A and B are shown apart, each in its own frame.
Chain A
Amino acid sequence: MLNTKDIWKRFDFPLFAAVLFLSIFGVALISSAIAGNPTLANHPQRQTVFLLIGLVILFITAAIDYHIWLSLTRPFYIVVALLLILVFVMGEARFGAARWLQIGTETIQPAELAKIVAIMAFAQYFSAHISQINNWKTVWQSLLLAGGIALWIFLQPDLKTTIVIAVLWFAMLWISGWKTKNVFIFAGIVILLFAVFAALDFPLLADYQRERITNFFNPDPEARYGDTYNVDQALISIGSGGWFGQGYGQGSQVQLRFLKIRHNDFIFSVLAHEFGFVGTVIVLLLLVFVIYRCFAIAAKAPDAYGALLAYGFGILMAFQTLVNVGVNMRLLPVTGLTLPFISYGGSSLVTLLLGIGLVENIHMRTDKKLPAA
């Protein structure tokens, strides 16, 4: 066992520095995105407070051996599932979906926490069943595990988080050694189900979700306001950025509020608009660096649980980043997935920093002298 002092020597500072930079940069972009909107005025301060809380949580998470967290996976899973049921039952309606839990004056999104808990649960289950990974029983049982929280998220209805959990489930099952043949068999079953689902016109989706899907595949040329407005303005914002952008706090699309949801889903457009191609690529590379570190740490993790944990978290960030950027550039339908560390959102930022704490935790407990696990 390594002692505490040695442990902190193995803290991955480049990873932490990148995360800290991205988070602070996020606060700065949110400040620019206020653009005189009084309802957004306190968002930078709030995000700063969440960043500080998140950093404290990061260090606490990193300090306690992840095997202790492993033993707490089941209670976490149950708590999160209960919270999600609570949201489903008594969540308040906003934007056509109930996703928040009101605690005093604050609201929290249990779905954000659910992502981390899902990663923990999958890591625990797959690491425990890694030798029977190609038994269909393992597949169905892990699917039930996923469904235990995903169902409530889906019913909120929150399609994007449901998809995130599905992606995590698949990615983690696959890296655990799921045979390609089985993947195809499973994919065949899923496509069949989807076809039936589509033929019934997506009966379980909320109207706005169905609209988003049809809008993406079949944009209505008559629609001037609303449906395609946001993505059109996002594209104008990105495109008008040029090499170096219009300057921080200077972008007309942002400051005159042509770009909507600019502090959140479309913050990538703010980045591209005000910092241009060069700034955007730098930030993307930083995000890639964070993801890369997660995978690198996973590859050297001392056990399968640690490896799956770090890998799963890397997949979460990679998926969110790629989907968010794709949405901003109009390459994917609007999903509402945020850009990690940069988009506004307390639950999201705190959860991400918690995840980074877990990854640091694994890195700190990997013996450098030992070859990869």
Chain B
Amino acid sequence: MNNKIYEKPTIQLSRFKWVYILIGLVLLYYIFQLFNYQIVNGEVYRVQAEDNRTMEISDQTQRGKIYDRNGVVLAQNIPAYNITVTPAELPDSEGLTRLIFAELSELIGIPVSNGVVDETVASTFTPCSTDLGIEQIVYIADTNWPFQATRLSCGVSKEIAMAVQEKAMDWPGIGVEIESIRVYPTGNLTAEIVGFLGPVPESMLDYYTELGFVANRDKVGYAGVESTMQDVLGGTNGKRVVEVTVGGEIVRNLEEPIEPIPGQDVYLTIDTRLQSAARDALIMNLDYWNWYLGYTLSTSGSVIAMNVKTGEILAMVSYPNYENNRMTPYIPQYYYTQLTMDQAKPLVNQAISAELPPGSVFKLSSALGVLNEGVVTPEQTVNDPGTISLVQSYLLNDPNPKTLQTYYCWNRDGHGDVDFLHGIAWSCNVYWYKVTGGYEGEVPDGGLGIYRLGEYAKALGYGQLTGIELPGEADGLIPDPTWKRLNQGENWATGDTYLAAVGQGYVLATPLQVLNSISTIANDGKHMQVSLISKMEDALGNVTQSFEPVILWDITKDAKIQEYDGNIPTGVMKTVQPWVIELAKRGMEMVTVEGGTAAIEFEGDTNKVAGKTGTAEYCDDFALANRLCGIGVGGWPAHAWFVGYAPYDDPEIAVVAFAYNGKEGSTLAAPIVRKVIESYFALKAADADNLP
């Protein structure tokens, strides 16, 4: 405005400074912000940029296979074919894409268009379990991961997969993905041993993620050997850290890739043929008796066979069980619900998880005790009048004796004078009541007593886990006065000892413990580690671990028995004398011959089977609810047991059979054991013939 030379008016030069100030201030603010972003907070953005470009890819490994001892496949992986679409590779022409979708739709049976994609649908979209049409799936995939193959249809037949494969040139973007799924060729024959797989459980997510497992893709063992051998079978996923473009296209490896390590193959000690024989024997015997009696007596049970000398489990049947092939590739909700609701608990392996009163088979614990402790001599007889009465005393010299209780022998006429061997052979309850619990005038000083009975039972493996390689094993119960006071709020009574002596009352054991105890006696006191695992092999066929028999203890050599002075442990330990075991075995030999409790069932037996019957009265929640628990002898329902081994002069195999609510050990369980032992020797002979 000042110093104007020209007369004509011009623009306001003085206002330029405002323009400079405005631009300058904004620019300074921008540079300040730029400094903030790039220098002050640069690290935050660098991490985000790094996050953008790096992707960790887990290359799925192969799960190890499961075989039986002879190499029969029990669990393997087979390819499942999935049809996939990679949106970025579809042709640019919309018409061509539509044509592909139409043809593909006809082949795989998924509609071209179905459903509407909104935010909820898109965020909950799960390939393989969606009703959406091809166009909708492609839309979701194209928006989120255009360079990744997304599954359109899962588990299609090989024929369809081949047909799609042939069209590869005409159908860019459509592919076939081969996924590995678990199948069990032997199905429900071995389901209780092999188990099944399921998705990584929510509760174990951190644990498995740490090990490199990918949730929603990798599966882990849920039951059986699949579960216990998970770490061996599972293998290790490979890992690649790659650089990706915004569309998920892999540019290069950022780190040296780690190759997947396949899981090891596991060989079980099971002989599938014997397993099949055992299962058939159990089912046929139950069916026979249910038919013969005209009503349903028993519908569930278990059978276990083991090698006496090594502890290898040769067969293990828990019936009813389930079909593990139905659990793959996905566990169907309705089937799982059905199994969990079933009263017979088919998902539970009864052979190792059911805690049951062992009944008379438990008398062998008493047997070892009374002889080894010198309570009676083998020849000494005890009178069995059929029933005996006992004044329940809860204390030594109890000043207030309680009610008079009557104890019955299963034979109400009585066995008369009974010695040790006949006590076993006839399974005479009164003999075992008296020698274990004491009886005025016949067995002084309270007999063997509950503490010492417990010592012998535990030496045979009762009341503790066997450590078999299966999940959910139960440890049973060997009660003592302390336990009763704590759990029942009552003092121990002489009658409790009577009941414990015959495997009733509070005593609980699993079928495997019962088998293991008799096997220990058959093996002359050597208590073997029971095992299901024969060997493990890595992917190259190298044996990484093979079964070695392990003697946990030998009751004739290792001092496992605590000596008692009355009810007080002395701290001195002792062994079981071998002649005691010999006599116990002799008693069991007499069970299967003329006069023994299983004589009829073993008539004509050529395999020299020795054993022990058991009829264990019970009143569980189910029985109580169904008003099966009456009063008095025969009032309660009973389980049927038989445990045997053969040949008795050099035992190889021991077998236990258990029938839930089977009533009579001799009729319901013994024939099963006989058949399994016969099958065992028949298979042995056949194998010997087949040897070159």
Residues of A within 8 A of B (CB): 36, 130-131, 171, 174-177, 225, 233, 235-243, 252-253, 256-258, 272, 276-277, 280-281, 284, 288, 291, 295, 298-299, 303-304, 307-308, 311, 315, 318, 322, 325-326, 329, 331, 370-373
| A-B pairs with lowest CB-CB distance, top 8 | A239-B45, A240-B49, A239-B37, A252-B53, A240-B45, A257-B246, A240-B46, A256-B245
Q: Contacts A240-B48, A242-B42 hold; do A284 and B5 have CB atoms under 8 A apart?
A: no
Nearest residue (CB) in B for A176 is B11
Q: Contacts A236-B49, A258-B52, A322-B27 hold; do A329 and B33 have CB atoms under 8 A apart?
A: yes
Rounded to whole Å, the gap between the CB of B149 and the closest CB of chain A is 20
Asked if B686 is at the interface of the complex by the 8 Å CB criterion, the answer is no
Tell me whether A256 and B9 are in contact (CB under 8 A): no
Tell me whether A322 and B30 are in contact (CB under 8 A): yes
**19 residue pairs A–B, Cβ–Cβ below 8 Å:** A130-B11, A177-B9, A238-B45, A239-B38, A239-B44, A253-B53, A256-B243, A256-B251, A257-B246, A272-B34, A272-B38, A277-B39, A298-B11, A303-B6, A304-B11, A311-B11, A315-B19, A322-B27, A329-B30
How far is B329's CA from A24's CA once the two chains are assembled, in angstroms?
Answer: 60
Q: Contacts A256-B52, A272-B34, A281-B31 hold; do A130 and B6 have CB atoms under 8 A apart?
A: no
Asked if B156 is at the interface of the complex by the 8 Å CB criterion, the answer is no
Rounded to whole Å, the gap between the CB of A243 and the closest CB of chain B is 7
Q: Contacts A253-B49, A304-B10, A325-B30 hold; do A241 and B23 have CB atoms under 8 A apart?
A: no
Q: Contacts A240-B42, A272-B38, A322-B26 hold; do A304 and B243 have CB atoms under 8 A apart?
A: no
Asked if B143 is at the interface of the complex by the 8 Å CB criterion, the answer is yes
Q: Which of A130, A235, A253, A329 sits near B10, CB closer than 8 Å?
A: A130
Rounded to whole Å, the gap between the CB of A160 and the closest CB of chain B is 18
Tell me whether A280 and B34 are in contact (CB under 8 A): yes
Tell me whether A236 and B48 are in contact (CB under 8 A): yes
Chain A contact residues, majority secondary structure:
helix
Tell me whether A252 and B52 are in contact (CB under 8 A): yes
Which residues of the other chain, A, contact B3 by a CB distance below 8 angstroms? 371
Which residues of the other chain, B, contact A295 by a CB distance below 8 angstroms? 16, 19-20
Which residues of the other chain, A, contact B34 by a CB distance below 8 angstroms? 238, 272, 277, 280-281, 329
Tell me whether B38 and A257 are in contact (CB under 8 A): no
Which residues of the other chain, A, contact B10 by a CB distance below 8 angstroms? 130, 303-304, 307, 373
Tell me whether B45 and A258 are in contact (CB under 8 A): no
* Residue from B8, B11, B52, B53 having most chain A Cβ neighbours under 10 A: B11
Tell me whether B23 and A318 are in contact (CB under 8 A): yes
How far is B46's CA from A225's CA once the two chains are assembled, in angstroms?
Answer: 20
Tell me whether B16 and A236 are in contact (CB under 8 A): no
Rounded to whole Å, the gap between the CB of A138 and the closest CB of chain B is 13
Q: Contacts A238-B37, A256-B52 hold; do A308 and B27 have CB atoms under 8 A apart?
A: no
Tell me whether A371 and B9 are in contact (CB under 8 A): no
How far is B11's CA from A322's CA once the two chains are assembled, in angstroms?
Answer: 24
Q: Contacts A276-B38, A284-B31 hold; do A131 and B144 have CB atoms under 8 A apart?
A: no
Rounded to whole Å, the gap between the CB of B299 and the closest CB of chain A is 55
Residues of B within 8 A of A (CB): 3, 5-6, 8-13, 15-16, 19-20, 23, 26-27, 30-31, 33-35, 37-39, 41-42, 44-46, 48-50, 52-53, 143-144, 243-247, 251
Rounded to whole Å, the gap between the CB of B40 and the closest CB of chain A is 9
How far is B33's CA from A331's CA once the two chains are assembled, in angstroms?
Answer: 9
Rounded to whole Å, the gap between the CB of B382 and the closest CB of chain A is 84
Tell me whether B246 and A256 are in contact (CB under 8 A): yes
Tell me whether B37 and A329 are in contact (CB under 8 A): yes
Which residues of the other chain, A, contact B20 by a CB distance below 8 angstroms? 295
How far is B19's CA from A315's CA once the two chains are assembled, in angstroms?
Answer: 9
Rounded to whole Å, the gap between the CB of A167 and the closest CB of chain B is 12
Q: Which of B13, B35, B244 sits near A277, CB closer than 8 Å?
A: B35
How far is B399's CA from A327's CA once the two chains are assembled, in angstroms?
Answer: 98
Nearest residue (CB) in A for B31 is A281
Q: Which of B9, B42, B52 sits near A239, CB closer than 8 Å?
A: B42
* Residue from B3, B6, B26, B45 having most chain A Cβ neighbours under 10 A: B45
How far is B11's CA from A175's CA once the two chains are assembled, in angstroms?
Answer: 6
Tell me whether A235 and B30 are in contact (CB under 8 A): no
Rounded to whole Å, the gap between the CB of B147 and the closest CB of chain A is 11
- Given A177-B11, A239-B48, A240-B48; 20 other pairs, CB 8 A cutoff: A171-B19, A174-B15, A175-B16, A177-B9, A235-B45, A238-B38, A239-B44, A239-B45, A240-B45, A242-B39, A252-B243, A256-B251, A277-B39, A281-B34, A299-B16, A304-B11, A318-B23, A329-B33, A329-B37, A373-B6
How far is B48's CA from A240's CA once the two chains are assembled, in angstroms?
Answer: 8
Which residues of the other chain, A, contact B26 by a CB distance below 8 angstroms? 322, 326
Tell me whether A372 and B13 are in contact (CB under 8 A): yes
Nearest residue (CB) in B for A331 is B33
Which residues of the other chain, B, contact A225 by a CB distance below 8 angstroms? 143-144
Which residues of the other chain, A, contact B52 by a CB distance below 8 angstroms? 233, 236, 252-253, 256, 258
Tell me whether A291 and B23 are in contact (CB under 8 A): yes
* Residue from B10, B23, B53, B247 having most chain A Cβ neighbours under 10 A: B10
How far is B4's CA from A130's CA once the two chains are assembled, in angstroms?
Answer: 15
Nearest residue (CB) in A for B123 is A224
How far is B514's CA from A308's CA once the two chains are assembled, in angstroms?
Answer: 108
Which residues of the other chain, B, contact A252 by a CB distance below 8 angstroms? 49-50, 52-53, 243
Which residues of the other chain, B, contact A303 by a CB distance below 8 angstroms? 6, 8, 10
Tell me whether B12 and A177 are in contact (CB under 8 A): yes
How far is B13's CA from A101's CA once the two chains are assembled, in angstroms?
Answer: 39
* Residue from A239, A304, A311 having most chain B Cβ neighbours under 10 A: A239
Q: Contacts A304-B11, A307-B10 hold; do A326 and B30 have CB atoms under 8 A apart?
A: yes
Which residues of the other chain, B, contact A239 by a CB distance below 8 angstroms? 37-38, 41-42, 44-46, 48-49
How far is B35's CA from A281's CA once the two chains are assembled, in angstroms?
Answer: 10
Which residues of the other chain, B, contact A242 by a CB distance below 8 angstroms? 38-39, 42, 46
Which residues of the other chain, B, contact A331 by a CB distance below 8 angstroms? 30, 33
Q: Contacts A304-B10, A308-B11 hold; do A243 and B38 have CB atoms under 8 A apart?
A: yes
* Residue from A240, A258, A371 having most chain B Cβ neighbours under 10 A: A240
Q: Which of A171, A175, A258, A272 sits near B246, CB closer than 8 Å?
A: A258
Which residues of the other chain, A, contact B38 by a CB distance below 8 angstroms? 238-239, 241-243, 272, 276-277, 280
Tell me whether B245 and A304 are in contact (CB under 8 A): no
How far is B15's CA from A311's CA once the two chains are assembled, in angstroms?
Answer: 12
Rounded to whole Å, the gap between the CB of B248 and the closest CB of chain A is 10
How far is B12's CA from A238's CA once the two chains are assembled, in angstroms?
Answer: 39
How far is B369's CA from A252's CA once the two chains are assembled, in angstroms?
Answer: 80
Tell me whether A235 and B53 are in contact (CB under 8 A): no
Nearest residue (CB) in A for B37 is A239
Which residues of the other chain, A, contact B44 by a CB distance below 8 angstroms? 239
Rounded to whole Å, the gap between the CB of B30 and the closest CB of chain A is 5
Rounded to whole Å, the gap between the CB of A131 and the closest CB of chain B is 5
Tell me whether B11 and A288 are in contact (CB under 8 A): no
Which residues of the other chain, A, contact B245 by a CB distance below 8 angstroms? 36, 256-257
Which residues of the other chain, A, contact B27 by a CB distance below 8 angstroms? 284, 288, 322
Nearest residue (CB) in B for A370 is B5
How far is B144's CA from A131's CA once the two chains are assembled, in angstroms?
Answer: 62
How far is B15's CA from A298's CA once the two chains are assembled, in angstroms?
Answer: 12
Tell me whether A176 and B49 are in contact (CB under 8 A): no
Which residues of the other chain, A, contact B9 by a CB distance below 8 angstroms? 130-131, 177, 304
Tell me whether A237 and B49 are in contact (CB under 8 A): yes
How far is B47's CA from A253's CA once the two chains are assembled, in angstroms?
Answer: 12
Which residues of the other chain, A, contact B13 by a CB distance below 8 angstroms? 299, 372
Nearest residue (CB) in A for B251 is A256
How far is B48's CA from A253's CA once the two chains are assembled, in angstroms?
Answer: 10
How far is B43's CA from A240's CA once the two chains are assembled, in angstroms?
Answer: 7
Tell me whether B12 and A256 are in contact (CB under 8 A): no
Tell me whether B19 and A256 are in contact (CB under 8 A): no
How far is B42's CA from A235's CA once the two chains are assembled, in angstroms?
Answer: 10
